[in-house]
C-alpha cells in the first residue's frame, strides 16, 4: 500500500478541535504527520477532502464476537417458575456456544466486526473463551479458534487486541467446571502455550496485539491468576490483562463467602493492579473500591447496553470520574453494536439514577467528554497506538456526514453531542483503519460476501 493524504475542514485532535487539518498517512498505516491550519500546505491541493468532520475511530474494548449471532434470541420468558436472570441467560448462551464450529465463529465474527466498523468502532478487544472442540478436546492446532477470530478481524480490516481467556473452575473456591464450560478450560501451561503461539505468530502485525483475560475471579484460582499475569508480563511487560470483575450481586456475595472480601477489594489487595489492567463490569463497588480503582490507573470496561440487557446494575460513574477514573466502552454481548448507544446509556443511567441532566459533563459538553474519555481509556486497554490523531498512531478515523440531518449546522463539541445523543440514523459516512478505506458512503466494501457467509452460519446453527 502506498502512502496517502486526507484533508479535513474540521478534525478532533488531542488538544481539541482544529481546522484545515492535513493527514499524511504512511504505507504502514500509521499517521506520518497531522498538520492543522494547513490550508496553504503544498499537499493540500492534491489531498482528497473528507466529506465532513473527522474524528478518531472508537476502540471497542470488550467483545464476545460469537454472541452477535444470538442477539435477540433470549428476550422472552423462560420456564414458568424460573425468574429470568443473568444466570438463566448464561445457560442459554452456553447452549448456543456449545454448538459453534470454527467456520461459524469466523463467519459470525467477520459479520460482527463489519457492523462495528460501520458504526464507528475501528479496533476491538476480543475476550475469547471458545477455545476447544465441542467435546472439550483441544483442536489439532490448539490456537484454531483464536486464529479464526484473528482471521475474521483481518478480513474485516478492524484492529484487534486478542485476549485468550483463562478459565479453570465452575465457581469460587475450586468448584468443578460444568459441562457447558468444557470448551473454555485450560491449565496454566496449556494457556501460556496458547499465548506464546499467538504472540509469536502475530508479533510483527500492527493490526494485532495479544494480551490475556483471566475470565473472572469465579473462573480462576488465585494461583492461576498470579501465574498467568506473571507469565504474560515476563514475555511482554506492557501486555493488557482484562477480567470480568463485579457484574452481578450474586458474584459479590459468593466472593464474600469465599474470601471475606468483595471482588474488586480482593483483586486490589491481592494483585498489583495498574494501567495494564481492564476491569470489565466493575459494576458493584463501594465508595472505597471506586476510589481505589480510579487511583490504580486501570481502565473500567463499561458495557452499558449489555449491562442493562442482563440486569447487572448501574456503574458508579459520577464518583469514579470525580476520582479521576479511566474508562472505555465495549459492546460485549452485541445486543447493540454502536459506540454512541453505549455512551448515551452510560449518561442516561446516571440521569435516571440521580434525576439530573448532563451528569457526566465535567463542566462542558457531555458527548465530547464521554467520546474523548472512551477513546483514551479504550486505547489504553487495547494497548495499541490508537484513539488519537498524532504522528505514529494508527490512521483509524471516521468521517461524520456533514449532511446527515442531525449534523446540520453543528460544529466542534456540538457535533459530538449530536452524534452521541441524536445519532440514531448512523451518521458515520466513511471509515479508515490503518490507512485503508473500509467503509465508504456507509457501505462496507465486501459487505455482501461477509453477510452471505454469516447467513449460511446462521442457517447451519438453526438459530
Ligand atoms: C461471558 N458475559 O463470558 O460471555 C459473560 C457471561 C459469565 C458477561 N459477563 C459468562 N456479560 O460471566 O460467567
Ligand atoms: Zn464479557
334 within ligand 1 shell (Cβ under 6 A): no
User: What is the helix (H) or strand (E) element at residue 157, kind and residue range?
Assistant: none
In the chain, the domains with their CATH numbers are: 58-382 (3.20.20.140)
Cα of 348 to ligand 2 centre, how many Å? 21
Are 132 and 167 in contact, with CB atoms under 8 Å apart?
no
Go through the chain and tell me how many residues it has. Answer: 463
- Substitution candidate for ligand 1 out of 127, 333, 335 with most atoms within 8 A of CB: 333
Distance CA 92, CA 171 (A): 18
Q: Please give the pLDDT value at position 210.
A: 98
Would you say 281 and 307 are in contact if contact means Cβ atoms under 8 Å apart? yes
| Ligand 1 centroid – CA 381 distance (Å) | 19
| Mean pLDDT of the residues in the chain | 97
Grid cell 465457581 in the structure block, residue: 171
**Residue-level pLDDT at 225:** 98
Cα–Cα distance measured from residue 37 to residue 21, given in angstroms and rounded to the nearest whole number: 6
Q: What is the DSSP letter of 171?
A: B
* pLDDT computed for residue 463 by the predictor: 56
DSSP character at residue 139: P
pLDDT of residue 54: 98
Nearest alpha carbon to residue 238 among 31, 385, 391, 64: 385
For residue 87, the number of C-alpha atoms closer than 13 Å in the C-beta half-sphere is 8
Q: What is the pLDDT of residues 405-422, one digit of tens each?
A: 999 999 999 999 999 999
Unique residue bearing C-alpha cell 459516512: 429
Give the integer Cα–Cα distance in Å for 376 and 389.
11
Low-confidence ranges of the chain (pLDDT < 50): none
Give how far Cα 111 sits from Cα of 134, 367, 442, Å: 22, 28, 15
Could you tell me what percentage of the chain is helix, strand and coil, using 3-state DSSP and rounding each to the nearest 5?
40, 20, 40
Phi, psi of 256 (to 5 degrees): -60, -45
Is residue 64 lining ligand 1, measured as CB closer than 6 Å? Answer: yes
Rounded CA gap, 137 and 266, in Å? 32
Give CA–CA dist 120/108, Å, rounded. Answer: 18
Bridge partner list, 63? 126, 332
Q: Is the CB of 254 under 6 A from ligand 1?
A: no
Position 80 scores a pLDDT of: 81
Question: Whole-model pTM?
Answer: 0.98
Spatial distance between the Cα atoms of 107 and 172, rounded to a whole number of angstroms: 34
Task: Residue 15: name the closest of 42, 32, 33, 34 by CA.
Answer: 34
Amino acid at each position: 500500500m502506498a502512502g496517502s493524504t486526507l484533508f479535513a475542514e474540521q478534525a478532533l485532535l488531542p488538544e481539541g478541535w482544529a481546522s484545515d487539518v492535513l493527514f499524511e498517512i504512511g504505507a504502514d498505516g500509521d499517521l506520518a504527520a497531522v498538520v492543522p491550519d494547513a490550508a496553504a500546505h503544498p499537499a493540500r491541493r492534491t489531498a482528497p477532502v473528507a466529506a465532513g468532520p473527522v474524528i478518531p475511530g472508537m476502540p471497542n474494548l470488550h467483545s464476545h464476537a460469537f454472541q452477535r449471532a444470538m442477539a435477540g434470541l433470549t428476550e422472552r420468558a423462560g420456564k414458568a417458575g424460573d425468574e429470568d436472570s443473568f444466570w438463566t441467560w448464561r445457560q442459554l448462551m452456553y447452549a448456543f456456544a456449545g454448538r459453534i464450529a470454527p467456520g461459524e465463529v469466523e463467519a459470525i465474527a467477520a459479520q460482527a466486526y463489519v457492523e462495528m466498523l460501520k458504526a464507528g468502532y475501528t479496533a476491538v478487544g476480543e475476550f475469547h473463551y471458545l477455545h476447544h472442540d465441542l467435546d472439550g478436546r483441544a483442536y489439532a492446532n490448539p490456537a484454531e479458534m483464536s486464529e479464526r477470530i484473528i482471521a475474521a478481524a483481518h478480513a474485516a480490516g478492524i484492529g484487534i487486541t486478542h485476549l485468550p481467556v483463562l478459565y479453570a473452575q465452575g465457581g469460587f473456591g475450586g468448584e468443578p467446571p460444568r459441562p457447558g464450560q468444557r470448551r473454555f478450560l485450560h491449565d496454566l501451561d496449556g494457556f501460556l502455550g496458547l499465548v506464546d503461539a499467538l504472540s509469536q505468530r502475530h508479533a510483527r502485525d500492527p493490526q494485532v496485539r495479544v494480551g490475556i483475560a483471566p475470565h473472572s475471579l469465579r473462573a480462576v484460582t488465585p494461583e492461576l491468576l498470579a501465574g498467568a499475569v506473571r507469565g504474560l508480563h515476563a514475555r511482554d511487560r506492557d501486555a493488557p490483562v482484562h477480567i470480568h470483575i463485579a457484574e452481578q450481586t450474586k458474584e459479590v456475595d459468593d466472593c464474600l463467602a469465599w474470601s471475606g472480601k468483595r471482588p474488586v477489594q480482593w483483586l486490589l489487595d491481592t494483585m498489583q493492579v495498574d494501567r495494564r489492567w481492564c476491569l470489565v463490569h466493575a459494576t458493584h463497588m463501594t465508595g472505597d473500591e471506586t476510589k481505589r480503582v480510579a487511583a490504580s490507573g486501570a481502565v473500567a470496561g463499561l458495557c452499558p447496553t449489555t449491562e442493562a440487557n442482563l440486569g447487572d446494575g448501574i456503574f458508579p460513574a459520577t464518583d469514579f470520574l470525580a476520582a479521576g477514573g479511566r474508562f472505555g466502552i465495549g459492546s460485549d454481548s452485541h445486543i447493540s453494536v454502536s459506540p454512541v448507544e453505549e455512551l448515551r446509556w452510560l449518561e442516561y443511567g446516571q440521569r435516571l439514577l440521580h434525576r439530573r441532566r448532563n451528569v457526566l459533563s465535567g463542566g462542558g459538553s457531555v458527548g465530547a467528554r464521554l467520546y474523548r474519555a472512551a477513546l483514551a481509556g479504550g486505547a489504553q486497554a487495547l494497548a495499541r497506538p490508537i484513539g488519537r490523531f498524532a504522528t505514529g498512531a494508527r490512521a483509524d478515523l471516521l468521517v461524520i456526514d456533514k449532511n446527515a440531518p442531525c449534523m446540520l449546522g453543528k460544529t466542534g463539541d456540538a457535533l459530538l453531542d449530536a452524534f452521541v445523543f441524536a445519532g440514531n440514523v448512523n451518521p458515520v459516512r466513511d471509515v479508515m483503519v490503518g490507512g485503508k478505506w473500509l467503509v465508504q458512503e456507509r457501505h462496507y466494501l465486501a459487505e455482501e460476501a461477509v453477510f452471505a457467509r454469516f447467513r449460511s452460519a446462521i442457517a447451519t446453527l438453526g438459530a
